[in-house]
Copies of this chain bind each other. A is one copy, B any other.
């Protein structure tokens, strides 16, 4: 654990011990938690349910958001925060649907943090939203260490990434409220063992359901929408 940013960073034991003696480090950590607390209160005051979507790059977060927006936009007022190290290509895709969206560029940073989300909240029409999706930076490791003030944490894992990922990246699967297997339409072309994946996830986290879907074909999207719908306030 990196004491400065809260990420799970490798440091030698000696260096870590040295850095723990610097008081400002603790202040930085609690700055994120304090901002997350404020975000949570802010969202609650506006009656908004917020979901923090985390995955590897290219696992299909934006594509799942597009399918979700298409299905829910008539009955639910949705907003989106897009996180990327650079560019606003995802925000442009979301904006084309007419959904309020804010792009956060982290300037190379490997995760969103609560102060970034706080700034983004002030750029959204909160009184006109029921649900907020926060698409985190594509990274299966660092984002999980940062509370953004969301109500629920979602992990996406795409079929091409392989069913062995809970062995190598256990922290994200331990931390989330639901695991969504995406790109299920590619199952016939790959050796993804869904039952093995489920068993690995449930060995780490026995409460998170494992949903399977293809935003491209629509297969399984109804299960995701049902899971979401049960959580809207």
Contact = CB atoms under 8 A, between A and B. Distances in A.
Given A56-B138, A161-B58, A109 B10 contact: yes
Contact of A57 (B12, B113, B169, B183): B169
A111 interface: yes
A87 B56 contact: no
B161 A57 contact: yes
Interface size class of A (residues with CB under 8 A): 35 or more
Given A8-B108, A89-B164, 18 more contacts: A4-B5, A7-B9, A7-B142, A8-B107, A10-B116, A18-B28, A22-B22, A22-B24, A58-B158, A85-B168, A85-B171, A87-B167, A87-B168, A138-B169, A139-B140, A139-B142, A160-B160, A189-B189
Main secondary structure of the interface of A (DSSP, over half): loop
Interface of A: 1-5, 7-12, 15, 18-19, 22, 24, 28, 31, 56-58, 84-87, 89-90, 106-113, 115-116, 137-142, 158, 160-162, 164-165, 167-171, 183, 185-186, 189-190
A169 B85 contact: yes
A24 B28 contact: no
Contacts of A19: 4, 24, 28
A204 B17 CA distance: 38
A107 B10 CA distance: 7
B161 A110 contact: no
Contacts of A28: 11, 15, 18-19
Contacts of A58: 56, 158, 160-162, 165
Contact of A86 (B56, B90, B167): B167
A141 B15 CA distance: 22
A4 B7 CA distance: 11
Contacts of A189: 185-186, 189
A210 to B, nearest CB: 17
A171 to B, nearest CB: 6
B24 A85 contact: no
Contact of A141 (B12, B90, B110): B110
A57 B168 CA distance: 9
Contact of A2 (B4, B56, B87, B116): B4
Nearest to A112: B10
